A and B are shown apart, each in its own frame.
Chain A
Amino acid sequence: MKRIVLFLFMCLGLVPAFAQSAESIPAASSAWDDPLLPFYIVIGFTFVVVILVLLVALYLLQVLNYMVRQATRERAERLGIPYKEEPSFWARLWKESNDFVPLEKEADILMDHSYDGIRELDNHLPPWWKWLFYATIVFSGVYMIFYHLTDTLPLPLKEYETELVIAEEQAKKLEASSPVAAIDETTVQLVTDATALADGKTTFLNNCASCHRKDGGGDIGPNLTDEYWKHGGSLRDIFRIIRHGVQGTNMISWEGFISPEKMQNVTSYVLTLQGSNPENAKKPEGELYKPDTHAPADSTKVQASL
């Protein structure tokens, strides 16, 4: 059970970790390249050491306790007094924090009525329970004051505004530091390296396949593997269609859903499907498009920046 609880707490612990991944923009692709790595290692090490020290200390305390009890018993035997073991710290704590009337003295607090043989004792309210109740009432008062009288803490909409401000700052930083964040249909370029195309394929399967089929053969949307295009077949055209969608058709605008870089990757991936001739593909729609007759810029090959 303990382990399960621990696991759940670890799951909860992940929350800030995930949030962080959204906030910070790691310059490196692997955790090993993180400049803060030594810091994490030291923190982790300290944590492990603290746990170990605590464990050893607890164990020593147990040993000490045992030896003291042993000594007391021996002395009692030597002096001929009957040995009575002291109740443990936990037993005392349990008893005191609940303020139990001892079982032997129960008769004193037995109420004089009986309902179908059920009797009632009149034990005190457990002090910790009483204090817990008071504490929650105080918490509630403070909560209402902080949120509604003094505006010290943010209510949902305020939280949201803050979130948006942070996101905007990040977006600006990202745009400044990374050119791929600002790709549009005028600057889009064909990418050919395997990582970028694999990323494009993932994006395709997750988002496009539901209308264009997993192999691009077309279904609700047109066939993407033939040379016929309804709204233009150049790299720039395809990027534009993905980004803005086509009014009045099923093709929605993906701007805001997919990052510009991913759009560039998926556009490039779509072009790799040309001529793949999947089975039962949809019949050609639109006009024939030959890539070589169009803008040469499209075929410039760049390193993917993924």
Chain B
Amino acid sequence: MQLEKIHYDNKIVKAFIIATVIFGIVGMTVGLLAAIQLFYPIFNFSDSSLGQFVSFGRIRPLHTNAVIFAFVGNAMFAGVYYSMQRLLKTRLFSDALSWTHFWGWQLIILAAAITLPLGMTSAKEYAELEWPIDIAIALIWVVFGINMIGTIIKRREQHMYVAIWFYIATFVTVAVLHIVNSFEMPVTLFKSYSWYAGVQDALVQWWYGHNAVAFFLTTPFLGIMYYFLPKAANRPVYSYRLSIIHFWSLIFIYIWAGPHHLLYTALPDWAQSLGVVFSVMLIAPSWGGMLNGLFTLRGAWDRVREDAVLKFMVVAVTAYGMATLEGPLLSLKNVNAIAHYTDWIVAHVHVGGLGWNGFLIFGMLYWLVPRMWNTKLYSSKLANLHFWIGTLGIVFYALPMYVSGVVQSLMWKEFAADGFLRYQNFLETTTQILPMHMLRATGGALYLAGVFIMAYNLIKTAYAGSFIANEEAEVSPLVKIKHAPGGYWHHILEAKPVIFTVLALVAILIGGIIELVPTFLVKSNVPTIASVKPYTPLELHGRDIYIREGCVNCHSQMIRPFRSEVQRYDPKGGEYSKAGEYVYDHPFLWGSKRTGPDLHRLGGKYADSWHFRHMLTPAEVSTGSIMPAYPWLYEQQIDKGLTAGKISALRTIGVPYAEGYEKTANNDLDAQANRIVTGLELEGYETAPDAEIVALIAYLQRLGTDIKLDEVATRNE
């Protein structure tokens, strides 16, 4: 047979590797800053002119977006592009597409790094970027997809290896998730409202959020594991049939599990329960990946002791196994009742992020760079040091957060003998766990130090070698073999990429459709409350400030039906949060973490002047508070020119503002603002009616109050 000479494109892989290392350092540094802000609020720099761009509410989304999409994303593309060429024995489909993909992705990251600190956000976790960037992401993702499918089509290997299956699933699912979750109604170039409201928005968001973990952080990295781990260990993969079973069961089941982020919320019970059981059924499929990784090392364990690459991979796969067992356990509703809204969840995601993604990426880089630069690793001692310092970092990160999560949750729930909450003041539970947050930051700093060591080591390695931009390989042309009868049916499927892709798409659509469609169409899933009305124009502006400042990062707006929560947040009204209260919330702002108290029943709890003082100097009003100050809200004005656009946009997506109301809305706005300003003046506080703080106060005072009007109405009937 005539051998063909081809060249694998290493240059694109190199570009993605460099981006990985740079954004790893940037993203983790930002994370460390966020961690420090949580015990030294001074690091919010509230009083400096920079303050509003670096306060926690804006830094936290910057951190999550940077580590997920910039660090892990670039590493994914590096790993996929390197392995795919070799597994399919062909150069990538198109160099032009490869580079469009690379530069497009980096521009998106740049856009994120600019817009997030500016407060341009959709408020939906891990999907914060505004609509023009969403469109760019969709386009670049399609470029990546065409490049991938094109490469698969022109392959010289008849069958697709398991890594490729995972890459295909990644491409189709992320595309579906991103597009569906990003439906939004633009108001201006960088402001939009989610198409969905309240419960429906929450369900779509967590269907997306959970599966972003599944199909951005998990499936591509399982593929990467399936390539790099057997390569580094020089051992055959443990079990082909395990690969098949765990691949299909994983992608089919994962998509259903989203609602476990919304247990005990206003989401319909049937959806919550589906989230629980599908999470439990996910244990075995996830562990299938771990077992296939670890058992592949059978007979090579002696090498794990010496080889830093294998060490990183072993810890990565183990962390994957731990996180995927913990996830289903956290989805049990009695465990979730303790863990939700606490640091436990933060610990959980970081075991996955630092352990699984981080360590697998480090292992991959230590393996790749010497090969691509045709040399040996500069220092295996430093690589080992990185391994130990990184592992220590994970331990120091995770353990304190587990402790602080459980401690805080128990404090929230504890009743004293007199039937009242023992820690009625939320702040007591915050200050209690600050030492744990300091330890966590130490863990994060250790981990980051390891990344710096790696960067040095890799740069030194690259300088010592010479880069092979186009790696030459001799490959045989594609020979199609007829499948002998009686073989694996799946083996035949592996030779049919289009059918394979369609089947993967069907597998991931089923769960999503069954959960989403009834929640949208069946009315009984969101019982309406007559007294719940749309926000006033001023409140709308206030809500947009709430979104811009990222308040949702620390404050939930979802009181679960627990006696301890109703007692804490609405002791007199006795109302937990109901689905019908959120029907005009575009987007929903339930939040996922309570660094501060829940705010859903905040309306009317304090007077306007309290909020006025509190937002200016939180630590003075509540001694020991770690909330940043927001002095700029007192200097900046709301843009009343946007009122009409906001009203019209919301009406288009179903909020019942009267036709033509946008023309008179500003009159109502002025009247409400003047009432607040007059009230504040009586208490001795002066402010302009169009100051942002006035709008924010209007919104905060509205929160959760509509349902009380309903009671009054019913009583009067």
A-side residues, CB < 8 A to B, are 4, 8, 11-12, 14-15, 18-19, 21-22, 25-26, 98, 100, 103, 106, 110-111, 113, 115-126, 129-130, 132-133, 136-137, 139-140, 143-144, 147-148, 155-157, 159-160, 163-164, 167, 170-171, 174, 180-181, 205-207, 209-211, 214, 219-220, 249-250, 252-253, 255-259, 261-262
Contacts and interface: CB of A to CB of B under 8 A. Distances in A.
Nearest to A126: B291
A211 B83 CA distance: 63
Given A140-B280, A148-B270, A125 B419 contact: no
Contact of B572 (A113, A125, A255): A255
A139 B277 contact: yes
B424 A258 contact: yes
Contacts of B83: 116
A233 B237 CA distance: 81
A159 B402 CA distance: 26
A189 B457 CA distance: 74
Contacts of B270: 148
A283 to B, nearest CB: 11
B418 interface: yes
A18 B273 contact: no
B277 A258 contact: no
B281 A140 contact: yes
B288 A129 contact: yes
Contacts of B623: 205, 209-210, 214
B606 interface: yes
Interface string B13-53: 00000000000000000000000000000000000000000
Contacts of B416: 21-22, 259
A120 B236 contact: yes
Nearest to A173: B419
A206 B281 contact: no
B439 to A, nearest CB: 13
Given A11-B407, A14-B406, A144-B273, 7 more contacts: A22-B415, A123-B241, A143-B277, A147-B269, A157-B561, A160-B576, A255-B572
Interface stretch (B97-105, B607-615, B698-706): B607-615
A259 B576 CA distance: 21
Interface string B528-572: 000000000000000000000000000000001111000100011
A22 B410 CA distance: 12
Q: What DSSP secondary structure best describes chain A's contact surface?
A: helix
Given A4-B399, A123-B242, A19 B299 contact: no
A201 to B, nearest CB: 14
B563 A21 contact: no
Interface in B276-317: 276-278, 280-281, 283-285, 287-288, 291, 295, 298-299
A205 B239 CA distance: 63
Given A21-B415, A159-B561, A252 B605 contact: yes
**B: contact size bracket:** 35 or more
Interface string B675-687: 0000000010000
A174 B417 CA distance: 9
Contacts of B576: 160
Contact of B403 (A11, A156, A181, A255): A11
A123 B230 CA distance: 15
Nearest to A134: B284
A94 to B, nearest CB: 11
Contacts of A214: 623
B622 interface: yes
B240 interface: yes
Contacts of A21: 414-417
Given A207-B424, A209-B623, A137 B281 contact: yes
A210 B621 contact: yes
B406 A132 contact: no
14 contacts: A4-B399, A26-B417, A120-B237, A120-B239, A122-B241, A124-B239, A125-B245, A130-B284, A132-B284, A140-B281, A156-B272, A160-B561, A256-B571, A262-B420
Given A21-B417, A174-B419, A259-B420, A118 B406 contact: no
Nearest 10 A/B pairs, CB to CB: A256-B571, A22-B415, A140-B277, A133-B284, A160-B561, A250-B607, A123-B239, A119-B236, A115-B161, A116-B86
A89 to B, nearest CB: 20
A18 to B, nearest CB: 5
B236 A106 contact: yes
A200 B170 CA distance: 59
A44 B96 CA distance: 72
Contacts of A124: 239, 241
Interface in B250-272: 263-264, 269-270, 272
